[in-house]
Amino acid sequence: MVAQIRISIPHDDSANETTHRLFPTDLPHITRRRRWSRLLSRLWAVVADKRARLFILLLVSIFLNVLLLILSVSRNGSSWSAYSIPKDIAYPGLATGAEDSRYHMLAELIVVPGHAVFLGNPYDKKQVKHSEAWSLESFQSTRDIDGFLEHIHTGIAELDRKNRALLMFSGGQTKIKAGLRSEAQSYWEIAQGQKWLSSKNIWRTTTEEFARDSFENLLFSLCRFYEVTGRYPSNVTFVGYPFKRNRFTNLHRVALKLPATKFHYVDSPANDDFYVDAEKTRGEFTNAYRPFEIDPYGCTGILQKKRKQRNPFHRQ
């Protein structure tokens, strides 16, 4: 039998007491210091994060801006509602039905579509007829400029005859060469700069600056009329080339469900062989009438491609 030997180590309480005295870990001030150290470390870890720093800067910026706004309002005794657009600004389409009660009386729409953008001085009688002052396509010429100006004249003549009509120049920012100037805006500037608009009727003119083709000229003008007057027109008069008449009366009007008795197409220039020749008629049928006959809203194929080409600034 193997004898079991037990070794007994005496417990020295005095040694524990000595250790406790040398390392007083439970002192209150040391405990608080460690807590603050851990808290500061955590805060720095948060601030060190880039997103957190940006968020803190944003909060500080918002606080300072709100404080500045409160101080400025209390100092000046005014508020944002005290500011308004000057009422004497003359600009097409500025006043709407909500701002000018006269627009509620208008019931008829006259549309003059744009075909190019004028880049020159609208007050210069020679420049408005000069080809270099227009952003023309390769197939357009000086004779076409005569047509553009005739369209403006015809639209104004219709406006003078109809006391409750709104004249709408329609056409978007379709030319990269023209920058942000729209077809509609340049037409309106010519009408105003050449003093073709009478002072009593200028308030009954406005612009539609998003259309990229003939269908959108009509559709967007209807929407713009509603925006200005608060209603849709009871009658629509559209000014355009004679060779485009069939497309508007047979296709665009029908696609928008406009009654035939409420839609009137005015040939301009009228009785001019330049705008009714066989070549233009064939081109109209091949490149416009037939595609819209297949696709009434112009959402696919060649019609969609044309819209993309006429939208260099991604307005739509």
Closest CA to 191 of 180, 202, 176: 202
pLDDT above 80 for 93: no
In a domain, 176, yes or no: yes
In a domain, 9, yes or no: no
pLDDT above 50 for 243: yes
Q: Both 49 and 129 in a single domain?
A: no
Q: Both 57 and 112 in a single domain?
A: no
The pLDDT value given to residue 81: 37
From CA 52, how far away is CA 256, in angstroms rounded?
Answer: 54
Give residue 28's pLDDT band: very low, low, confident or very high (50, 70, 90).
low
Domain count of the fold of the chain = 2
The pLDDT value given to residue 63: 85
pLDDT above 60 for 13: no
In a domain, 230, yes or no: yes
Give residue 2's pLDDT band: very low, low, confident or very high (50, 70, 90).
very low
Q: Both 199 and 294 in a single domain?
A: yes
Q: Both 106 and 72 in a single domain?
A: no
Closest CA to 148 of 173, 176, 117: 117
Of the chain, the end-to-end C-alpha distance in Å amounts to 103
Q: Both 50 and 194 in a single domain?
A: no
From CA 17, how far away is CA 266, in angstroms rounded?
Answer: 113
Closest CA to 264 of 165, 136, 169, 121: 165
**Those residues with Cβ within 8 angstroms of residue 52's Cβ, 6 or more apart along the chain or in another chain:** 46
From CA 248, how far away is CA 251, in angstroms rounded?
Answer: 6
Q: Both 138 and 75 in a single domain?
A: no
Domain boundary among 79, 110, 142: 79
Q: Is 106 exposed, middle or buried (0-12, 13-18, 19+ CB in 10 A)?
A: buried
The pLDDT value given to residue 89: 39
Q: Both 47 and 179 in a single domain?
A: no
- Look up the domain containing 49 and give its range: 36-79
Give residue 30's pLDDT band: very low, low, confident or very high (50, 70, 90).
low
In a domain, 202, yes or no: yes
Condensed to tens digits (0 to 9), the pLDDT of residues 185-239 reads 999 999 999 999 999 999 999 999 999 999 999 999 999 999 999 999 999 999 9
**Those residues with Cβ within 8 angstroms of residue 106's Cβ, 6 or more apart along the chain or in another chain:** 164, 165, 166, 204, 228, 229
Mean pLDDT lowest for which of 20-24, 108-112, 115-119, 185-189? 20-24
In a domain, 8, yes or no: no
Interstrand relation of 134-135 and 108-113 (parallel, antiparallel or unpaired): unpaired
In a domain, 14, yes or no: no
The pLDDT value given to residue 100: 81
Give residue 44's pLDDT band: very low, low, confident or very high (50, 70, 90).
low
The pLDDT value given to residue 69: 75
Q: Both 146 and 194 in a single domain?
A: yes
Pull the structure tokens for residue 281: 């008629």
Condensed to tens digits (0 to 9), the pLDDT of residues 68-89 reads 777 765 554 433 333 343 444 3
For the chain, strand residue ranges (E) read 108-113, 117-118, 134-135, 165-170, 205-208, 235-240, 263-267
In a domain, 86, yes or no: no
The pLDDT value given to residue 86: 43
The pLDDT value given to residue 110: 99
Q: Which CATH number is 235's domain given?
A: 3.40.50.620
What is the arithmetic mean of pLDDT over 137-152? 93
In a domain, 137, yes or no: yes
pLDDT above 60 for 91: no
Q: Both 168 and 199 in a single domain?
A: yes
Q: Both 283 and 142 in a single domain?
A: yes
User: Residue 61 is which amino acid?
Assistant: S
Q: Both 123 and 248 in a single domain?
A: yes
DSSP 194-212: TT-S-TTTGGGEEEE----
Using an 8 Å Cβ cutoff, are 203 and 213 in contact? no
Q: Both 72 and 114 in a single domain?
A: no
From CA 255, how far away is CA 292, in angstroms rounded?
Answer: 10
- Across the chain, mean pLDDT equals 84
Higher pLDDT, 66 or 285: 285
**Those residues with Cβ within 8 angstroms of residue 64's Cβ, 6 or more apart along the chain or in another chain:** none
**Those residues with Cβ within 8 angstroms of residue 30's Cβ, 6 or more apart along the chain or in another chain:** 24
The pLDDT value given to residue 74: 52
pLDDT above 60 for 274: yes
